Each structure stands twice: as structure tokens, then as C-alpha cells.
Amino acid sequence: MRRLTSHLGPLIMLAAGLFFALGALTSLDLGSFRRMGPGAFPLLVGGLLCLLALIGLMQNLRAPMAVDRADPMAVLGVFGGVAAFAFFTPLTGVLPATAVAVLITGSVIDGFRWSHRIALAVGVSAGVWLIFVQGLGIPFIAIRGL
């Protein structure tokens, strides 16, 4: 099973190469050798990527490269943090969104006490306000309705 997953790596690359090469072939003008169209270069590089992916696949069939085990909680924590930032910024402004994002990302780290997580969230929000709003003068809505 692990061996099969290992082959997925080069296969993803093959898919990407095919996507660009076929996309260039079917929907873009290739032009001539002298006056190349917008499709020529992507076709060339996409083709090269396919070739490399096939070589990589052959290497992998002989000696499969190890695959690292994914950590779903870490992905979830980071994903949740960023998504929360993007979701809350239009609703509440940047600073509350920052605090929520810090709390969510921090919540997947074991052994990180809640009091410390909250302190970090407040501290980082204050830092963002100081650096980005006060220091750099970026026109953010810091807290909506304030």
C-alpha cells in the first residue's frame, strides 16, 4: 500500500504536465518556429515535465521513495486558522480575525495552556495593530464598527 502511495508523487507531476501541455495544444495558438504563439512554450515545458515524471516514475518503480505520513490535525489547525482569518476579516475587522486565527491554530498544539493561548492571541493582535496599522499605515479596518 505504501509503495502504491509513493508512486502518486510522480503521477501528480505527470497529471500537471499533461494539463498544461494538452491545454496549450487544444486552446492556445502554437504559432510557428519563428513567431511562437502563446501555446508553444507551455507545450514544450509541459511535455518536458511529462517526460521527467515518467523517468521519475520508473526510478520509483525500481526503488520507491519514502512518503512522509500526513498530520491531519496540523493541516486542520493551519487551514482553520487561515480560513477563519479570511472569513472574519470582512465581518469583524482585521484584529478580531487575527485573534481568532491564533486561537484556532494554537488549539491543535497539545500541552499549550488555554490561558497562554489567549494571551498569545491578544498579544499578536496588539502587535499587528502596532506594526501594520500604526507603523506602516496600511488602510485596514482594524475593528469593524469602531
Partner 1 sequence: MELLDNLMLGLATAATFQNLMYCFVGVFLGTFIGVLPGVGPLAAVAMLLPVSFYLPPETALVMLAGVYYGAEYGGSVASILLNIPGTPSASVTCLDGYPMAQQGRAGVALFATAMASMAGALFGVVVMILLSPRLAEFALLFQPAEYFSVMVLGLVAASIVSSSGAVRGLMMVCLGILLGTIGVDVNSGETRFTGGIPQLRDGVSLVVVAMGLFGISEVMVSLRGATQSYAGAGLTGSMFPSLSEWRRSAMPALRGSAVGSFFGTLPGTGQTVGSFVSYALEKRINRNRAQFGKGAIEGVVVPEAANNAAAQTAFIPTLTLGIPGSTTMALMLGALMIHGITPGPRLIADHPELFWGLVVSFVFGNIFLLILNIPLIGIWVRLLRVPHHYLYPTVIVLICVGVYSISNSLMDVWATLVFGVIGYVLRLFRFEPAPLLIGFVLGPMMEEFFRRAMLLSRGDPGVFVTRPGSAALLLAALLLLVASLIPWKRWLMRGRDAAELKDGL
Report which of 102, 101, 107, 75 is spatially closest to residue 88, judged by C-alpha positions.
101
Residue 3 CB, shortest distance to partner 1, in Å, is: 13
Q: Which is nearer to partner 1, 7 or 145 (CB)?
A: 7
Residue 88 DSSP SS3: helix
Q: Which is nearer to partner 1, 1 or 35 (CB)?
A: 35
Q: Which three cell numbers stand for residue 11?
A: 503521477
Q: Which is nearer to partner 1, 69 or 146 (CB)?
A: 69
Residue 85 CB, shortest distance to partner 1, in Å, is: 4
Residue 48 CB, shortest distance to partner 1, in Å, is: 6
Cβ-Cβ contacts under 8 Å for 28 (sequence gap 6 or more): 37, 38, 39, 42
Cβ-Cβ contacts under 8 Å for 133 (sequence gap 6 or more): 140, 142
